[in-house]
Amino acid sequence: MRLFNRIACVLLFLTATALDAQDVGQGDLYSRIKENLDAVRAIDTHDHLRAFGKMPDRVATPDGRGMNLYSIWAHSYLTRTTKITPWPADRSFDTWWKQARDDFDDARATSFYRYLLPAFRDLYGVNFETLTDAQAAKLNGQIFQNYRDDSWLKEVITKRANIELMFIDPYWNRLQFARDYRFAVPVLNVTTLIGASHPERTPSQRDSPYVYAERKKMPTDTFADFLAVIERLFADALAADAICLKSTQAYIRTLHYKPVSKERAAAVYGKSPKEATEKEQKQFEDFMFWHICRLSAKYELPFQIHTGDARVQGSNPMLLVDLIEANPQTKFILFHGGYPWVGETGAIAMKHKNVWIDSCWLPTLSYTMAKRAYQEWLDAVPSDRIMWGADTVDAEGIYGATEFTRQCLAEALAEKVEQGQLREADANRIGRQIMRENALKLFPRLNRMLWR
């Protein structure tokens, strides 16, 4: 009888194990989760897509000016680490390709290179890894023809990449809120406002709050006048359906913003770059950043902040913790997962309920770290506080970055299911949250912009 009981227990254990394995879906689990993610009409919380007629990197060719294979690579993130052969004076693709085909050899393992491979594979049916000269010439011609008008761009973004809404950060014209596409969502980039202690501190007329004030017939004589202009700009941005704020100051300076009194900032206002010391200018910017945090809460415009991989010595998101803690009504979104400080970013979001993590760009920076980050964040942070964005500039880049994100997220979720940390149904729900639902929850005004 004892032997029979033992055999029965073993059989029950094996049956349960088999059922568990079937539930996990070993073998095709990743494919099912990926298929679920592919079906989600995504909300992309960060991109830099210009109006079609203003897209950069068109080049002169024998067939006229347009986009081609060089254009796609020249405006890709690969150029951050790898030199791409310039477009030749004779405007010939064959001349360019003869030299450029070797540009990629040392970058084949990098995510900056690999994120574009799905675009060439899925949109053009070619394997860029094994591309022949004839295939390269054909691909170049197809790209050129596709960019004759904007229909290809719209097709790829809304159907092939399955993106319904896309936040567009107009760093080339920060104080305008045009919606150049049906899927476009405006963003107010506040980077130049933070440092605008004097008109000479603004990099262009398009980004100048002083030029904006002139258009609105508002004075800028005093610091109080200047702050009134900033507030008017916020009100106008909200009326124009801007959905959030964005700062890229991490490219310029440290993210350590100290609390500074209004009086000390006012003492710097109006001083030219020659008159103000570096310390004084930092004090002005510190005040302005805190002030914009307060306006963010007042106008219910969540604040996207570039963290990580900029000026690396000053872009650790941990530098923002005191400011985050002091502004509990402001909704902070830490961009790029704080790369390379993804663990620190998760810890900040764990401790502070007014912090969201945006994984935009992260899979393109490092696919391996992005997968680790998704798994680590889900260990530490509720799944409704993680988002994503493609963070690119053209159809191929947007498709590649979106597909890269879906692959990476599907792998991360599948591994958690395989390890018994998640049920498959929950993994699918979390995937939908990250790709779409979390943005709708954080930015409720998006619901009336939905169009599909």
**109 with 251, same domain?**
no
Q: What is the pLDDT of residues 94-134, one digit of tens each?
A: 999 999 999 999 999 999 999 999 999 999 999 999 999 99
| 48 domain residue, yes or no | no
Asked whether residue 32 is domain-assigned, the answer is: no
**Does residue 382 fall inside a structural domain?**
yes
Question: Residue 93 is part of which domain span?
Answer: 57-146
| Claim to verify: residue 367 and residue 237 sit in the same structural domain | yes
pLDDT digits (tens, 9 = 90+) for 331-377: 999 999 999 999 999 999 999 999 999 999 999 999 999 999 999 99
In order, the DSSP letters of 26-45 are TTTHHHHHHHHHHTS-EEEE
Q: Three-state SS for 84?
A: coil
Helices and strands: H and E segment counts in the chain: 20, 11
Residue 331 within a domain: yes
Q: Given pLDDT bands bounded at 50, 70 and 90, which one contains residue 277?
A: very high
Among the candidates 146, 169, 186, a domain finishes at 146
pLDDT of 10 strictly over 80: no
Residues 186 and 142 in one domain: no
Examine the pLDDT at 137 and tell me if it is beyond 80: yes
Q: Name the more confident of 121 and 26.
A: 121
Query: Considering the domain boundaries, does residue 273 fall inside one?
Result: yes
pLDDT tens per residue, range 187-218: 999 999 999 999 999 989 999 999 999 999 99
Q: How confident is the model at residue 16 (pLDDT cuts 50, 70, 90)?
A: very low
Tell me: do 130 and 242 sit in the same domain. Answer: no
Residue 165 lies in a domain: yes
Whole-number mean pLDDT of the chain? 94
Report the Cα–Cα distance between both ends of the chain, in Å, rounded: 65
Are residues 383 and 296 part of one domain? Answer: yes
CATH code at 264?
A: 3.20.20.140
* Residue at a domain's end among 89, 115, 146: 146
Same domain (yes/no): 287, 382: yes
Decide if 238 is inside a domain: yes
Q: What is the pLDDT of residue 4?
A: 40
> Cα–chain-centroid distance for residue 160?
19
Residue 316 predicted with pLDDT over 80: yes
Q: What is the pLDDT of residue 203?
A: 86
Q: What secondary structure letter does DSSP report for 251?
A: G
Based on the fold, state whether residues 226 and 358 are members of the same structural domain: yes
What would the pLDDT profile of 401-425 be if each residue is shown by its tens digit? 999 999 999 999 999 999 999 999 9
Based on the fold, state whether residues 309 and 415 are members of the same structural domain: yes
Cα-based distances in Å from 114 to 54, 58, 359, 387: 26, 23, 17, 22
Distance of CA 134 to the CA centre of its chain: 35
Question: Do the Cβ atoms of 207 and 297 come closer than 8 Å?
Answer: no
- Give the angle 383-386-391 at the CA atoms, nearest 5°: 155
> Quick one: DSSP state of residue 158?
I
Same domain? For 248 and 367 the reply is yes
Note whether 260 and 331 are same-domain residues.
yes
> 33 Cβ partners below 8 Å, 6+ apart?
410, 413, 414, 417, 424, 427, 428, 431
Instruction: Give residue 27's pLDDT band: very low, low, confident or very high (50, 70, 90).
Output: low
Q: Are 434 and 386 in contact (CB under 8 A)?
A: yes
**Do 254 and 402 lie in a common domain?**
yes
pLDDT at 1 over 80: no
Tell me the pLDDT tens digit for each residue of 239-253.
999 999 999 999 999
Q: Which one-letter amino acid corresponds to residue 194? A: I
In-domain check, residue 412: yes
Q: Is the pLDDT of residue 12 over 60?
A: no
Domain count, the chain: 2
pLDDT higher than threshold 50 for residue 3: no
